[in-house]
């Protein structure tokens, strides 16, 4: 039975070298970096600082600009709420794209409920924000603009360099959520003009439960967790030393090997994309055709429902994702939780069709043989679902009647 | 084999759905749901001598929607119209060894499809 993981946007497998770097800190090196007068503590402090430098290297930041968090969700919360609260009475307005992750959108809902105003920018049908829209949205009381680096669901890379130039000119803070992109495509904090960048370790072959917010020197942020003075006062709580060690190692590996990964994934992506395009009718690719994450192929198929596609793929040993209504929140409380993805709605995919969406996101460990296996099973799965679908039957009847 | 949130029974009916298709000159056809909501079911019934003698379906939807449709066609065959009318979503969900809470509406769709198909039958065959 095949075991093909094409869902790297949800998470990535831990690189064995990362585990190796973590192990001593789960076993014999158990010190607390804050208790650094004795040997155990000192060892932990030095280790965390070394990891900080490695993570900084990944985005060309300074080590003291890395604030470790429990993950991207916490980093996004800290960036948005922290920047808004630090602006005091002068800033009451924030700008965001409509295709952000829920940890950005819901942090903004929190602020909106406390009197802040939020401008939500629409995207084009490729899911891209127009930098001119950012310029037009900025007001004298704007604190922060938040636009992601790349979108996990449709793979589109946002024009963050252009947005950064505008926020620089207008002297507004710029936050970019690089959860889906960091470790996969180059990102230079200063070249982009970003002030705050969100990173997630488990999205680039590191461990879950560790992330970071890159806070450019001079940026003021209100801490969101009350406690001690860890992480330069931005984030209280004893450091997750093993997780941080893993993130540091993962960042070091990504920085060194990214170029290799990109060329491998670009080859796989081309093979998968061309194979799908030539074997499945009524198929529409989503996201920007060229400015996209390497190894990311997303699309929707008419007359087939997304969760059914995923279930059949899983039976054939292929693990993928969908933004479909029925697979969006199986643990939700009620049917209201079963709505199609906000990203697909944002790019104008009709809601009755959002349902057939699939995201294949490949990683460094995937192979051409795995791509070929997916290509060998997918057309049959789609055909089977069409044969069961009343909407496909109606379509065929219409064709027969010359309609 | 159980898969993800679904029981082995759901997966069996999803992977090997019974009675997919149409009935030419069906006694009653019921269509419920809406592709915009993620699922849509069309149920075809053949009624002879007050009994459901055949049932077929076509469904656009998730695993639970397809499995609910499939097991419904098995449950309804051989039943009198009165018996068929008593099928509830709970019967469908129980027959599938349960459904995840957010998927209960799929079994409701099956119940509603029966009601719609029998209503169509009555329209075509006024007493």
pLDDT level of residue A198 (50, 70, 90 thresholds): very high
Say if B126 falls within a structural domain.
Answer: no
Look at residue A276 in the predicted model and tell me its pLDDT: 98
CATH number of the CATH domain containing B73: 3.90.1010.10
Q: What is the mean pLDDT of chain B?
A: 93
Tell me if residue B37 is catalytic: yes
Q: Which of A109-123, A291-305, A350-364 is least confident?
A: A350-364
Tally of domains in chain B: 1
Q: Does B102 touch chain A (CB under 8 A)?
A: yes
Reported ipTM: 0.89
User: What pLDDT score does A401 carry?
Assistant: 85
Which burial class, exposed, middle or buried, applies to A62 when counting CB atoms under 10 A from its CB (0-12, 13-18, 19+)? middle
Q: Which of B17, B40, B42, B102 to mutate to test the interface with A (most CBs of A within 10 A)?
A: B102
Name the minimum distance, in Å, from the CA of B79 to any CA of chain A.
24
To the nearest 10 degrees (0 to 180), the angle between helices A368-388 and A306-315 is: 130
* Maximum Cα–Cα distance across chain B: 47
Residue A333 has pLDDT above 60, yes or no: no
Query: Touching check for B99 and chain A: CB below 8 Å?
Result: no
Residue A330 confidence (pLDDT): 45
pLDDT score of A332: 47
| pLDDT for the residue numbered A356 | 73
**pTM assigned to the model:** 0.92
When computed from its CA atoms, the radius of gyration of chain B, rounded to whole angstroms, is: 14
Measured between alpha carbons, how far is A112 from A118 in angstroms, rounded to an integer?
A: 7
Given pLDDT bands bounded at 50, 70 and 90, which one contains residue A336?
A: very low
Domain residues for B53?
Answer: 8-121
B2 located within any domain: no
B68 located within any domain: yes
More confident residue, A116 or B2: A116
Using an 8 Å Cβ cutoff, are A32 and A238 in contact? yes
Which residues of A have a catalytic role annotated? 326
CB of B58 within 8 Å of a chain A CB? The answer is yes
Report all structural domains of chain A as residue ranges with CATH numbers, in order of start.
4-9+256-400 (3.90.1150.10), 16-254 (3.40.640.10)
Q: What is the pLDDT of residues B48-80, one digit of tens each?
A: 999 999 999 999 999 999 999 999 999 999 999
**B5 DSSP assignment:** T
A332 contacts on B by Cβ (under 8 Å):
102
Neighbours of B70 (CB within 10 A): 25
As a whole number, mean pLDDT of residues A34-52 equals 97
Q: What is the model's pLDDT at position A391?
A: 86
Tell me: pLDDT of A44 over 80: yes
- Residues facing A4 on adjacent strands: A318
Has residue B127 been placed in a domain? no
Residue of A nearest to B43 (CA): A390
What average pLDDT does chain A have? 93
Burial class from Cβ neighbours inside 10 Å (0-12, 13-18, 19+) for residue A151 reads buried
CA distance B8 to A392: 28
CB contact under 8 A, A311 and B58: no
Which range (A146-160, A175-189, A341-355) has the least confidence? A341-355
Which is catalytic among the residues B2, B8, B15, B37?
A: B37
Closest CB to A329 among B15, B39, B102: B102
Per-residue pLDDT of A9-21, as tens digits, reads: 999 999 999 999 9
Q: For B19-38, what is the mean pLDDT?
A: 89
In a domain, B95, yes or no: yes
Strands A93-97 and A117-121: parallel
Q: Please indicate, yes or no, if residue B92 is contained in any of the structural domains.
A: yes
* Amino acid A331: pLDDT: 45
Q: pLDDT tens, A247-258?
A: 999 999 999 999
- List Cα–Cα distances, A102 to A142, A220, A343, B102, in angstroms: 21, 24, 11, 20
Work out the average pLDDT over A51-61: 98
Model confidence at A262: pLDDT above 70: yes
Structure tokens of A217? 């020197």
Q: What percent of chain A has pLDDT over 70?
A: 94
The answer, yes or no, to whether residue A192 has pLDDT greater than 50, is yes
Cβ contacts of A306 on chain B, cutoff 8 Å: 62
Q: For residue B22, how many other CB atoms are within 10 A of its CB?
A: 13
Q: In percent, how much of chain A has pLDDT > 90?
A: 85
Residue B1 forms part of a structural domain: no
3-state secondary structure (DSSP) of residue A196: strand
Q: Environment class of residue A317 by beta-carbon count within 10 Å: exposed (0-12), middle (13-18) or buried (19+)?
A: middle
Interface test with A, best of B33, B38, B63 (most A CBs within 10 A): B38
Question: For residues B119 and B33, which has the higher predicted lDDT (pLDDT)?
Answer: B119
């Amino acid at each position: 039975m095949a075991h093909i993981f094409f869902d790297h946007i949800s998470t990535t497998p831990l690189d064995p070298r990362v585990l190796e770097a973590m192990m001593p800190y789960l076993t014999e090196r158990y010190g607390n970096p804050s208790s650094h007068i004795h040997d155990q503590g000192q060892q932990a402090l030095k280790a965390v600082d070394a990891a900080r430098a490695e993570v900084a290297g990944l985005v060309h930041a300074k080590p003291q600009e890395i604030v470790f968090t429990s993950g991207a969700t916490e980093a996004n919360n800290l960036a948005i709420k922290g920047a808004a609260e630090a602006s005091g009475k002068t800033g009451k307005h924030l700008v965001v794209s409509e295709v952000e992750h829920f940890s950005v959108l819901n942090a903004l809902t929190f602020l909106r409920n406390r009197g802040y105003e939020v401008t939500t920018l629409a995207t084009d049908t490729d899911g891209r924000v127009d930098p001119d829209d950012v310029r037009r949205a900025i007001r004298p009381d704007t604190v922060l603009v938040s636009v992601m680096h790349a979108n996990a669901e449709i793979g589109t890379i946002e024009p963050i360099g252009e947005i950064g130039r505008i926020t620089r000119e207008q002297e507004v803070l710029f936050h970019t959520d690089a959860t889906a992109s960091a470790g996969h495509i180059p990102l230079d904090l200063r070249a982009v003009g970003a002030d705050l960048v969100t990173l997630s370790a488990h999205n680039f072959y590191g461990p879950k439960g560790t992330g970071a917010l890159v806070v450019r020197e001079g940026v003021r942020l209100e801490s969101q967790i009350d406690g001690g003075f860890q992480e330069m006062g931005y984030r209280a709580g004893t450091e997750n030393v093993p997780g941080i060690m893993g993130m540091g190692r993962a960042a070091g590996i990504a920085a060194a090997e990214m170029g290799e990964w990109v060329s491998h994934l670009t080859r796989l992506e081309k093979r998968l994309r061309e194979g799908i395009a030539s074997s499945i009718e009524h198929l529409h690719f989503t996201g920007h055709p060229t400015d996209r994450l390497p190894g990311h192929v997303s699309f929707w198929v008419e007359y087939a429902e997304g969760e059914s596609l995923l279930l059949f793929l899983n039976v054939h040993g292929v693990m993928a994702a969908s933004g479909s209504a029925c697979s969006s929140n199986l643990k939700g409380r009620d049917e209201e939780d079963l709505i199609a993805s906000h990203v697909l709605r944002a790019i104008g995919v009709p809601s009755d069709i959002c349902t057939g969406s699939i995201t294949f996101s490949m990683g460094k460990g995937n192979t051409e043989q795995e791509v070929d296996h997916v290509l060998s099973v997918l057309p049959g799965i789609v055909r089977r679902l069409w044969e069961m679908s009343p909407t496909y039957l109606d379509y065929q009847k219409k064709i027969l009647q010359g309609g | 084999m159980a898969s993800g949130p679904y029981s082995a029974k759901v997966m069996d009916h999803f992977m090997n759905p019974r009675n997919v298709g149409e009935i030419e000159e069906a006694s009653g056809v019921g269509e419920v749901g809406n592709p915009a909501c993620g699922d849509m079911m069309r149920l075809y019934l053949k009624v002879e001598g007050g009994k459901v003698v055949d049932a077929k379906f076509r469904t656009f939807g998730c695993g639970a929607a397809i499995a609910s449709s499939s097991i419904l066609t098995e449950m309804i065959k051989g039943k009198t119209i009165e018996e068929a009318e008593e099928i509830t979503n709970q019967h469908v969900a129980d027959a599938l060894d349960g459904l995840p809470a957010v998927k209960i509406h799929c079994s409701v769709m099956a119940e509603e499809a029966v009601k719609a198909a029998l209503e169509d039958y009555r329209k075509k065959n006024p007493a």
